[in-house]
Chains A and B, each alone.
Chain A
Amino acid sequence: MDKIIVGLKRVVDYNVRVQVKSDGSGVETAGVKMSINPFDEIALEEALRIRERGEASEVIAVSIGGSEAQQQLRTGLAMGADRAILVKTDEGLDALVVARIFKAIAERESADLVLLGKQAIDDDSSVMGQMLAAIWDRPQATFASEVAIDGNAARVTREVDAGLETIEVDLPAVITADLRLNEPRYVKLPDIMKAKKKPLDEIGLADLGVQAELQITETSFEPPADRQRGIVVDDVASLVTALKDKGLV
């Protein structure tokens, strides 16, 4: 296969405990550490491994957002992506619009595979890869924990509620990465230097023939209902008594 496209979303780092703004209008992201969505990093690592096995020739990292998303693309280039594309926009986009953007890029690049994270850890929607596969009219293999490329097809093991499931999909296809697919490599300093010279193209939605759209609007944000800290017991006997008092055992 020739080209693999990987999506890298800029999200609040997974170690940050986000706060709702006091007026409920959003989530406080000013001054907060931002990172590549961890599942996207796993997707990129898998793409790199496929290329390193000689089963693909080029890995293209794609992000959507403002100029600040260049940081995440540079990190992706330092990990080993060959080039990057930033689709520059400041507008809020539905996942379906993001899927349209990826479809346009996949078609422009004649991509054989689009590798994405199974969900972004900010909105936790877990929908974009499936939507891309639907409108691109191609197969989807979601929640992948193992990917084997076999000529013009991929055999993918998926983490499902009942255990593991294996499907075979013809390429081009969309694969979304689960946690256990691989462990992403660490970026070394020389790679960061090298990444500065790799191409990072910026394009707009209009270049792709996609219109910004927001079907679903977020009207207010609130913290979740908190659970109260309960009692602490001293020993097993007291624990058993407490459980029996509640009628739980």
Chain B
Amino acid sequence: MAKILIIAEHDGSALNPATGKCVTCATEIDGAEIDVLVMAASATDIAAEAASIDGVNKVLTAERDENANAVAALQAPQVVALADGYSHVFGPSTTFGKDLMPRVAALLGVNQVSDIMSVQGPYSFKRPIYAGNVVVSVDAPADKTLVATVRTASYQAPGNDNTAAIEAADCAVELPAHTRFVEARSGDSDRPDLQTAARVVAGGRAFASEENFELLYKLADAIGAGVGSSRAAVDAGYIAPETQVGQTGKIIAPDLYIAVGISGAIQHITGIKDAGTIVAINKDAEAPIFEVADIGLVADLFQVLPELTDALS
């Protein structure tokens, strides 16, 4: 029987919704018993949140001062120490999971299945390659621990009516001193988180300046949306890197995605394929974004964006 350990992602006080989506993925493995590991300096509140996720059997907490920030080199040995007895170890395919999970896999002597988008069997999965242009089916050996990351955009958030047991785990392994956390800087935004927002508005190079992105922010605030961007806009310095959507940025699945002044390179499209409804506003009627848009509007963004913001306010 599959026994699955899911590595929780959090910001030190609250659980990241990516964790719940990993649980949803794990429940697709028949008869899976699912435990969640919370590594934190203070795990109580985060563990309580994890214990409420439907489908979770038990929450393990690893409380150490070194877990105040998620540093892969310090957390991987703890995961390895606790992975004994588990057939599968899952983490989200976020920068947190992408950093940590391969280190865990290598320490366990196994390869990793990255970005699970579909479960075909306990050791068979589908995952995207070539910027999502190809889907490959993979088989992993059943006699080894299966370490994987979950493409969270492929899974729904689970319910929260559970009261799973919470246990302190023995995580007293020796940790290396070669890696030191210095600081974290995040764009202070009151807007919804890009990866979990139900609505996202995103802007591309056509905005032509950092100042002009104000037009996009006004639309975002009018409809309570998170803000995304294309690589071209980030490279041009119009908007912060953490807003980039696509192959090498964030893969998202909002109910509504409004792409403004984004041409729609394949590397961008792969980040939004799972969106409920895609709206494209672009003055170039031939832009590839229209090939995937549910609703298209061929227009100059500087003319229509203020009008759209007014209409939706």
Contacts and interface: CB of A to CB of B under 8 A. Distances in A.
Given A160-B184, A219-B124, 8 more contacts: A126-B98, A131-B103, A140-B73, A143-B98, A161-B250, A224-B133, A233-B296, A233-B297
B128 A124 contact: yes
Contacts of B100: 130
A161 B242 contact: yes
Interface in A226-247: 227, 229-237, 239-240, 242-243, 246
A227 B107 contact: no
A124 B96 CA distance: 16
Interface in A198-218: 215-218
Size band of the interface chain B makes with A: 35 or more
Interface string B282-313: 00000000111111111100001001100110
B215 interface: no
B103 A124 contact: no
Interface in A150-206: 155, 158-170, 173, 178-180
B308 A236 contact: yes
A166 B296 contact: no
Contacts of B256: 243, 248-249
A231 B248 contact: no
Nearest to A163: B186
Q: By DSSP majority rule, is chain A's interface helix, strand, loop, or mixed? A: mixed
Interface stretch (B26-34, B134-142, B164-172): B134-142
B136 A162 contact: no
B73 A161 contact: no
B71 A167 contact: yes
Contact of A219 (B94, B137, B291): B137
B96 A161 contact: yes
Nearest to A166: B182
Interface stretch (B44-52, B59-67, B273-281): B273-281
A231 B133 CA distance: 24
21 contacts: A94-B111, A99-B106, A124-B247, A140-B179, A145-B241, A160-B95, A162-B11, A164-B241, A165-B185, A167-B179, A217-B138, A222-B135, A224-B128, A230-B278, A230-B295, A232-B295, A232-B298, A233-B297, A236-B307, A239-B295, A248-B255
Interface in B73-115: 73, 76, 94-96, 98-107, 109-115
Size band of the interface chain A makes with B: 35 or more
A142 interface: yes
B1 to A, nearest CB: 22
Contact of A224 (B103, B132, B138, B199): B132
B134 A221 contact: yes
A56 interface: no
Find the residue from A27, A119, A160, A166 having the highest chain B CB count within 10 A: A160
B183 interface: yes
A160 B242 contact: yes
A190 to B, nearest CB: 29
Contact of B76 (A134, A145, A165): A134
B295 A121 contact: no
B183 A246 contact: no
B273 A160 contact: no
Contacts of B231: 179
Find the residue from A12, A139, A232, A236 having the highest chain B CB count within 10 A: A236
B137 A220 contact: yes
Interface in B234-289: 234-235, 240-242, 247-248, 250, 255-256, 266-267, 273, 276-279
A95 interface: yes
B286 to A, nearest CB: 12
A134 B266 contact: no
Q: By DSSP majority rule, is chain B's interface helix, strand, loop, or mixed? A: mixed
A131 to B, nearest CB: 4
Interface in B201-238: 223, 231, 234-235
A230 B307 CA distance: 22
A122 interface: yes
A231 B102 contact: no
Given A131-B102, A131-B105, A169 B178 contact: yes
Given A131-B106, A220-B136, A243-B295, A236 B304 contact: yes
Nearest to B296: A232
B105 A224 contact: no
Contacts of B124: 219
Smallest CB-CB A-B distances: 7 pairs: A163-B186, A230-B294, A130-B102, A134-B106, A127-B102, A131-B106, A166-B182
B195 interface: yes
A17 interface: yes
Contacts of A18: 130, 133-134
B99 A163 contact: no
Contacts of A22: none
A27 B110 CA distance: 25
Given A130-B106, A217-B139, A248 B277 contact: yes
